[in-house]
Amino acid sequence: MEEMPKNYDAAQVEERMLQKWLDGGFYARSKGSEDRTVVIPPPNVTGMLHMGHALDDTIQDTFIRYCRMRGYSTRWILGTDHAGIATQTKVDKKLKAEGISRLEIGREKFLEACQDWRVQYGGIIVEQIKRMGCSVDFDDEKFTMSPEYAKAVRKVFVDWYHDDLIYRGKRIVNWCPNCTTAISDDEAEYQDEHGHLWHLRYPLTEPVDGIEHITVATTRPETMLGDTGIAVSPDDPDKAKFIGKTVMLPIVNREIPIFSDWHVDAGFGTGFVKVTPAHDPNDFAMGQAHDLPQINVFDEHAVVVEGYGEFTGMDRDECRVAIVKWFEDHGLLDHVDDHDHSVMHCYRCDSTLEPWLSEQWFVGVDKLKGPALDVVNNGQVKFHPDRWTQTYTTWMENLKDWCISRQLWWGHRIPVFYCDECGWEDALMEDVDTCPKCGGHVHQDEDVLDTWFSSQLWTFATQGWPDNLDELEGHHPTKVLVTARDIIALWVARMVMSSLYFTGQIPFEDVFIYATILAKDGSRMSKSKGNGVDPMDLINMYGADAMRYNLLTLVTGSQDVKFDADIDPKTHELLGSPRTDAARGFVTKIWNASRFVMMNLDGYTPGEPVAATAADAWIFSRLAKLTKSITDGIEAYEFGDVSRELYDFFWNEFCDWYIEMTKDRLRGEGEERAVAQRNLVYVLDTALRLLHPVMPFVTEAIWEHLPVAEGQPALMVAQWPDPVDYEKWVDDNSEVAVAMACGVVGAIRSTRAQYRLSPKADVPVVVKVPAASEAALAAQAGLITSLARVSNLTVAANAERPAESAAVIAEGCEVYCVLSGLVDFAAERQRLEAEQKKLSGEYAKLEKKLSNEGFVQKAKPEAVEKAKAQFAEVGDKLALIAAQLSELA
């Protein structure tokens, strides 16, 4: 085989391996035993992938690559979401920049512009997913507005409509005046804001016990134009005398009643609450209970409608200022308090949402949420980590009817048709132009469906439902959904409800919730802040394997994780990521160690591995346990533990110890060398297979050069190491003995480094060992001698410390390195004392600096942390020198 290049070129290797996999058709669904189908959470077609996508997709790819190698039936479904509000907003901005309005070009032309946008950006997203090494089936891409998917969406609406689960009604919704559409409760983002509580006087139509007005407290004086009642708490005896009386609403001179209602908190404000049924959900409920008029004072842009004099045409902010001024001018502004409260904002454009009465379509959830709760409570659907189960159940238990209509053009148009003449209405699978009842003209509802309505069908509508159920057979329920906690309510719960209703099955067996990736300072990543990280920048800088490995090590069960990217504050360009750089170092280590093995395979002859030495028995036993641990870890979605265990084995046990232990035999001849070669190939081959799902590119490129790869199509479709096949190698006694020997070698090496002994100097060593371990460690004398350059080794349970020796505790043993003739003790003591004096000065300066309140409070946080780290490091060095001086004494 061709010799491995000396240096690993990530860009060149990744491009070549990707093309190899695509040309080989290895990403297509595979047939096997147990089904492991996974659907990718469809990214929006509005832009590029972010770090959350990168982590999500890396986790899925690690799992699906493992399942494919394990011989399971695998299918990984790719797709993108049309993202109604987000895409329409983006295309609106694009057209505006070109001097075009969607209202001018009309609905059809605008939808064409949206499709063009989708083709452009959807294609970019797919290419990014490819570059990450994701082995998703690119030849079977789905889209939430493709004709076949649209048919599934339409069927769900029509069936639910006819099953009385979908209805239209006038209700309070969260309205975005900027996007001019309804937003569901789950999509609203709450932000704490500093505001005010205005106390306004409303005159009573008749005095009550000499009182001529009542005072209401409100955070939104601009909505008072739509007040139709005043509410008090039934638990407030002081307000009882006002119940049944009326006030004359200022400005509009509307007489409105005072009543009691349980919605009112007697301790809030003045105890009198203005009721505006068209602009507050609680007020809406009170209005219905007390038969109050519902008066909408704002239009779709939150501008005051006609009929309100000087206030007509003002937006809500202008109206607020003008209303407060009017009350002040007329002596009806009692006083103003500061009041901090939480305000809902649009998750797309960040505009303050307006509670607004409008006619919308809703899904009645009462019949749906019970079964969806049951399958989680009985364990059919499991959340990982388990704490997210409570998030799901709490939300589901408090679930209200779901507003599914959006006042947009881009999306699945609601398939309800109305007759302009006889009033006929129906939801249909096919469009109609004439009324089937009277033959009159028919028009379709103008609204479109909420994006989450269509994406709730993702696990089954992407697999042929409702027309091709054979395609769905055997691949549903899917195995695991990997997603973010933000959409447990928006998406996960709705998928469970719809799947149970239409397929009679759960949509997935497991839900893995990954941590939210935050910026280095703990804030949310965002483009507007300039602290977001583009996964493609990381790949360009470090390679896809390094990025993938670093991301997987962040999977620790934590809710949030900080990503250590350094970003230029001016240009917002990525400067570096130390953890990803360290991951690249691991990639390089894998390459270099593998290359060393390949360079020592001259004359290699195939054969079975043999535990010819204790070192062989040790590494085989460690490999057997690793194989089981990695297999179990992936099955349990413990990707962080899996990544760290792979690192510990490959870098520490295989590279640092086993390869070193094998070098003497590789320099030998005959059967001894042949066995060493076969064993190295066996361990490396197994390790590469276990590493492949995590780091696919470098492992595939190395595996091509292994003798076992001859005639095989690719590592990604090679057989996963079966833990059962490796059980025969488990040898606890060899592990204990070799681990003890490694501990002794490490102690000797640390002593050499501490006293700066020449690498060529042979050191006499005495090891005091527990009696029970004496024979086992003595049997490793040759290994210790060769690895640590020991001239004379004594292993005994009754050993005593020789004169002029350094002592180190290791693996339950006391290791004494005799330094007579190797160290000038007086010179060494003098050197250490000089170093101690220098470090003591540094220590004192850092201690003074950190005790200075001005520095700690005013300096940049990173400067303070750096000083603390230096202080700790100098302290550790001083402690080590003190120990050495004590030993020399």
Short-list 326, 325, 320, 316, CA closest to 356: 316
805-810 and 382-384 beta bridge pairing: unpaired
> Could you read off the pLDDT of 374-388 as tens digits, one per residue?
999 999 999 999 999
Q: Is the dihedral of CA 591, 594, 599, 605 positive or negative?
A: negative
| Domain map (residue ranges) of the chain | 189-345, 518-715, 735-823, 826-888
Q: CA gyration radius for the chain? A: 36
| Of the options 3.20.20.140, 1.10.510.10, 1.10.730.10, 1.10.645.10, the CATH number for the domain spanning 518-715 | 1.10.730.10
Residue pair 465/65 in contact by the 8 Å Cβ criterion: no
Where does 826-888 sit in CATH, by number? Answer: 1.10.287
Provide the angle, in degrees to the nearest 10, between the axes of the packed helices 696-703 and 670-691. 150
| Residue 1: pLDDT over 70 | no
Q: Return the SS3 of 181.
A: strand
Q: Which residues contact 389 (CB under 8 A, 6 or more apart)?
A: 376, 382, 383
Task: Choose between 393 and 84: higher pLDDT.
Answer: 393
Domains 518-715 and 826-888 share a fold: no
Specify the DSSP element, H or E, that contains 156. Answer: helix 147-162
| Residue 316: pLDDT over 70 | yes
The pLDDT > 70 percentage for the chain reads: 99
pTM: 0.85
DSSP state of 6: S
Planar angle of CA 466, 467, 470, nearest 5 degrees = 95
CATH topology of domain 189-345: Isoleucyl-tRNA Synthetase; domain 2 (3.90.740)
Question: Which pLDDT value is given to residue 368?
Answer: 97
**Burial class, 528, CB count within 10 angstroms (exposed 0-12 / middle 13-18 / buried 19+):** exposed
The pLDDT > 90 percentage for the chain reads: 68
Q: Which two tokens stand for residue 181?
A: 């559409």
For 538, other C-beta atoms within 10 Å of its C-beta total: 26
| Residue 476: pLDDT over 60 | yes
Question: Which pLDDT value is given to residue 38?
Answer: 97
Question: Which pLDDT value is given to residue 730?
Answer: 97
CA distance 207 to 209: 6
Question: What mean pLDDT comes out for the span 808-832?
Answer: 81
Question: Which pLDDT value is given to residue 528?
Answer: 66
Question: Which pLDDT value is given to residue 33?
Answer: 86
Residue 527, annotated as binding a ligand: yes
Question: Which pLDDT value is given to residue 193?
Answer: 83
Residue pair 188/346 in contact by the 8 Å Cβ criterion: yes
DSSP state of 426: E
Among 1-5, 73-77, 174-178, the minimum mean pLDDT is found in: 1-5
Question: What mean pLDDT comes out for the span 214-232?
Answer: 94
| Residue 888: pLDDT over 70 | no
Short-list 795, 789, 792, CA closest to 813: 795
> Could you read off the pLDDT of 402-420 as tens digits, one per residue?
999 998 888 999 999 999 9
